[in-house]
Amino acid sequence: MQRVCFLLKVKADRLAEYTQRHQAVWPDMLAALSRHGWHNYSLFLRDDGLLVGYLETPDFARAVAGMQSEEVNARWQTAMAPFFETLDSGAADTSLLTLTEVFHLD
């Protein structure tokens, strides 16, 4: 199982709404994430907008590609894009800055 950690930056003036939106993630989006191997998926948000994401998956590239095939993901990414500072690709899920794991206590 791959452990993946990534960073994004939420606009400071959108933190409360970003948090609120994640209290009610669409059921079809949740189902798509599970279907494509996004397990133990968590998001953590710092007061300055730094967003840290964590997930476990058998194959991260395949998990991302699987979500790209989902219509619900396209709708979610379009709805969420205005919350983020600079997105390299225009969408959060393809602009993730992934971190290298240097230690894991198993």
Question: Mean pLDDT across the stretch 70-89?
Answer: 92
- In this prediction, residue 83 carries a pLDDT of 96
CATH code of 2-98, in short, is: 3.30.70.100
Residue 9, H or E segment = strand 2-9
Question: Mean pLDDT across the stretch 32-38?
Answer: 98
Q: Residue 90: is its pLDDT beyond 80?
A: no
Residue 106: CB partners within 8 Å, gap ≥ 6?
none
- In this prediction, residue 17 carries a pLDDT of 97
Residue 4: CB partners within 8 Å, gap ≥ 6?
53, 54, 55, 56, 57, 60, 98
Does the CA dihedral 47-105-100-58 come out positive or negative? negative
Which range (12-16, 50-54, 89-93) has the least confidence? 89-93
Q: Active-site residues: which are they?
A: 22
Question: Mean pLDDT across the stretch 68-93?
Answer: 92
Burial of 45 per CB tally in 10 Å (0-12, 13-18, 19+)? middle
Expressed in angstroms, the distance from the first to the final Cα of the chain is 12
Tokens (6 digits) for 67: 């979500």
Does the CA dihedral 29-48-86-38 come out positive or negative? negative
What's the whole-model pTM score? 0.92
